[in-house]
Structure 1
Amino acid sequence: MNSTSEIMAKLPGKNCGLCGLKSCEEFSEIVSKNPQAIKRCIFVGESSVQPEPANAQEYAAAADTEICWKDNLGREYDFILDKFPQEPGPRETIILFNPANVEKLGLKKGDILYGRPGWISCGCPVSHVGVVVEEPDYFNGTVVWCVVGPMLARERGINIGYYNTTAYEGLVHSSKVELQIGRRYYFQPRYCMLQWRHCGLVNSLGKTKDGLRVRIEGLWIG
Structure 2
Amino acid sequence: MAWQPPGKDCGACGVPTCEAFLACVREGEKDLLDCIFYPAAIAPSRLEGGTCYTGRDILGTEYDFIIEPLPGEVSARKIILPFRPDLVEKWEIVPGDIVVGRPTGAGCPVQHVLSVIHANTVSGLLTCLVVGPEASRTGEFKEIEAYHIVGFEGIARTVRFEPTFGMRQRFLPGYCMMNLTHTGVVNMVLAQSSGLHVRVEDIRL
TM-score range, shorter chain: 0.7 to 0.9
Pair 1:70-2:56 in alignment: yes
Pair 1:145-2:128 in alignment: yes
Say what the alpha-carbon RMSD is for the aligned residues. 2.0
Counterpart of 2:111 in structure 1 is 127
Q: What CA distance in whole angstroms lies between the structure 1 residues aligned with 2:78 and 2:128?
A: 5
Q: Percent identity?
A: 36
Matches within 5 A, 1:15-26: none
Counterpart of 1:79 in structure 2 is 65
Matches within 5 A, 1:1-222: 39-40=48-49, 66-119=52-105, 122-134=106-118, 136-155=119-138, 156-221=140-205
> Which protein is richer in helix relative to its size?
1
Runs of at least 5 residues in structure 1 that lack an aligned partner in the other structure: 1-19, 23-36, 42-62
**Other structure's SS at 2:89 match:** helix
Contact 1:21 1:193 in 2 (8 A): no
Post-superposition Cα deviations, 1:166-214, rounded to whole Å, max 9, x if no partner, equal 0111001333113211111100101111111100010111111111011
Counterpart of 1:13 in structure 2 is none
Q: Which has the larger radius of gyration?
A: 2
TM-score, with normalisation over the residues of structure 1? 0.68
Q: What CA distance in whole angstroms lies between the structure 1 residues aligned with 2:60 and 2:122?
A: 41
Q: What CA distance in whole angstroms lies between the structure 2 residues aligned with 1:195 and 1:114?
A: 20
| C-alpha displacement of 1:98 | 1.1
Q: What CA distance in whole angstroms lies between the structure 2 residues aligned with 1:204 and 1:74?
A: 27
- Aligned AA (2:155): L
Return closer, same or farther for 1:140/1:38 CA change in 2, 3 Å cut-off: closer
Q: What CA distance in whole angstroms lies between the structure 2 residues aligned with 1:165 and 1:67?
A: 23
The total of aligned residue pairs comes to 162
Runs of at least 5 residues in structure 2 that lack an aligned partner in the other structure: 1-5, 9-45
- Aligned AA (2:151): A
Post-superposition Cα deviations, 1:20-51, rounded to whole Å, max 9, x if no partner, equal 998xxxxxxxxxxxxxx79438xxxxxxxxxx
Counterpart of 1:29 in structure 2 is none
